[in-house]
Amino acid sequence: MAVHVYIAKRYPDFADRDVCRLFHVVSRGKIMLRAVVRAFGDPRQVIGLEETERGTPGSGEVEIRIRRAAVNPSDLIPVTGAYRSRTALPFVPGFEGVGEIVRLGAGVSGLAIGQRVLPIGASGLWQGHLIRPAEWCFAVPDDLADDQAAMAYVNPLTAFRLVDAVSTHFRGTTGRRIGVTAAASAIGKMLLVLLAEAGFQPVALVRSAATATRLAESFSGEIVTASTPALDAVLDAVGGEAGNALFRNIRPGGAFIQYGALSGAQLDPALVTARREEVAFSFLWLRNWVHSAPRATIAAEFDRSFTGIRAGYLASAIDTVFALSELPAALARQDDPSRTGKLLIAP
């Protein structure tokens, strides 16, 4: 706000509207808006908005004008302080989105000004402009619209990893019943399709009849609400008591992969230990894979994602696109049970 404050002091007779106009003339695009977290806590309380000067890309880096960024549960979890050992304050949230290269640092080759890319590997998408190493930027095909391109990373690539993990566990045998919790979530719907494609029998687990009805519009398989079916494996994003109940019921020789904790609680470790001979329990975090996979492998997975988005089965429903200045409204909508799809931010 420093420039705004200076103008308001220098021209005390100006109305707010005039201060804003002069601010935009003075800044000439050098100032941008960004979301910032300076203390851990409830995302709606601690994510602020501020104006700041754009940086300059260094050697091997590019500057990207963000066109669309997604709002995912995984953007908000670090804000609460859940991963404070690896989250340095202050930081700009947002792990996923699409932008256009506006400046190239020294020594960057293979990328061009005007090219659309997905910058991955670190948070920072909830701001007007982002500087990232060129090696963490992946080209977006021209035929993909910004809205879907902005969601081509986190959920599709995690869904591929989860289905690969199940296939590896069952060593290519098919027909197993695989439960998917929070099955009407964006990633849940992708998993239902990918599991069926891989020869498994997906079982959708949802928490309410209303969600079951909504999911039935796009999924014709088994949908379970408020009971605990016997399953060969569970891909779980919920954890807590619901996760514990599913874990108890998994058939011997099965697997339980936890990749989220929407309930706010993990599985009971004593339970996991008690069944360790019968059920293979593991966590799966996309972040770990992305930071160890070769760039060519990540690029190949993006190609799979783009193909699935074009075909529709990896496209995510969109509830609302908010301007970055409307972030408080976006965060309120994220928690709204009537939300019907993803929220996007247009910085």
Ligand X SMILES: NC(=O)c1ccc[n+]([C@@H]2O[C@H](COP(=O)([O-])OP(=O)(O)OC[C@H]3O[C@@H](n4cnc5c(N)ncnc54)[C@H](OP(=O)(O)O)[C@@H]3O)[C@@H](O)[C@H]2O)c1
Q: Which residues in this chain contact ligand X in the complex, by CB under 6 A?
A: 72-74, 154-155, 158, 182, 184-187, 206-208, 211, 237-238, 259-260, 262-263, 284-286, 337
The residue at minimum Cβ distance from ligand X is 260
Least separation in angstroms between CB 9 and ligand X: 43
Closer to ligand X by CB, 108 or 184: give it: 184
Q: Are 191 and 163 in contact (CB under 8 A)?
A: yes
Least separation in angstroms between CB 76 and ligand X: 9
Which whole-number Å values give the CA distances from 60 to 13, 103, 110, 135, in the listed order?
46, 11, 11, 8
Closer to ligand X by CB, 101 or 154: give it: 154
Closer to ligand X by CB, 104 or 180: give it: 180
DSSP H helical segments within the chain, as ranges? 2-10, 16-27, 43-46, 73-80, 146-149, 154-169, 186-197, 209-216, 240-249, 269-274, 286-290, 295-311, 327-334
Amino acid type, 108:
V
Radius of gyration for the chain, computed over Cα atoms and rounded to the nearest angstrom: 22
Strand, helix or coil at 235?
strand
Q: Are 148 and 313 in contact (CB under 8 A)?
A: no
Closer to ligand X by CB, 103 or 287: give it: 287
Q: Are strands 250-258 and 279-283 parallel, antiparallel or unpaired?
A: parallel
Strand, helix or coil at 347?
coil
Least separation in angstroms between CB 191 and ligand X: 9
Helix 295-311 and helix 154-169, axial crossing angle in degrees, nearest 10 = 100
Closest CA to 119 of 68, 77, 161, 47: 68
Closer to ligand X by CB, 134 or 242: give it: 242
Least separation in angstroms between CB 240 and ligand X: 7
Closer to ligand X by CB, 120 or 186: give it: 186
Closer to ligand X by CB, 294 or 337: give it: 337
Strand, helix or coil at 324?
helix
Least separation in angstroms between CB 190 and ligand X: 8
The 8-class DSSP code of residue 135 comes to G
Amino acid type, 336:
D
The single residue listed with the structure tokens 């029998």 is 201
Closer to ligand X by CB, 252 or 337: give it: 337
Least separation in angstroms between CB 232 and ligand X: 21
Least separation in angstroms between CB 236 and ligand X: 9
